[in-house]
Amino acid sequence: MERLRDKICLVTGAAQGIGRTTVEAFLREGAEVIAVDLEEDKLRPLINYPRARTLRLDVTDTSAVLQAASELDRIDVLVNCVGQVPVGTVLEGTTEDLVRCFRANVGSMAETIRAFLPGMLRQRCGSIINVASVVSAMKSVPNRFMYATTKAAVIGLTRSVARDFIEHGIRCNAVSPGTVDTPSLHERIVASGRIEETREALIARQPMGRLGKPEEVAQIMVMLASDEAPFMTGADLVIDGGLSL
């Protein structure tokens, strides 16, 4: 195994869900991983892994992200997994709500890329992986106006970075999951007030008849982070169990 041996990987949104599972997959593949999140308590169990470091960081805070980048010697792989899933149509919420969602889902990625890309450019090597969503420019679902809008922007951001730095050894790709069984999804199911009904509806819209697993997304992350995808940049890999078909 050890497809990521000698690589230093930074993963945001690492406290739970896809981010946490990606951290664990990277560690199994021999990487040194810096796990970043605001929820420090949820990061704490990772200190039991010899090649894991944890960092409490608000990735929407420009100065804090730049400070973190200045303190890290090298980053080979950057995984942007921070995000929020607001519920509602365009008639619900305000412009300020939309701006906050952009800040979390798109601005956070711009902040980390802006901070860590210069080091990758000096190395003339680096892989950036952004978590978008099938609910974006390719697929709509009810009551996800802000989420779909911002995740479509993530795909645009990814392709822009890929094109601008393709001649400098930088690869930038996106992954677009469908409905994945994560703690965040559980929270939204509970918040609906109709737990069984909501869960069954989410499963029913998946052509495969089940929810995705975080591990299934993490394995694609490993491939993109490794040297197995050297000719791939600007791609958006859909991992949705057929939801977008």
Residues that are catalytic? 147
User: CA torsion sign, 222 to 226 to 232 to 235?
Assistant: positive
CB 198 within 8 A of CB 189: yes
Number of H helices, E strands in the chain: 9, 7
Alpha-carbon distance 20 to 12, whole Å? 9
Cα dihedral: 176, 215, 144, 195 (round 10): 160
Cα dihedral: 171, 177, 182, 186 (round 10): 140
Alpha-carbon distance 137 to 187, whole Å? 25
Residue ranges of alpha helices (H) inside the chain are 17-28, 40-43, 62-71, 95-102, 108-123, 145-164, 183-191, 195-204, 214-225
Q: How far is CA 170 from the centre of its chain?
A: 18
For the chain, what is the largest distance between any 2 Cα atoms, rounded to a whole number of angstroms? Answer: 52
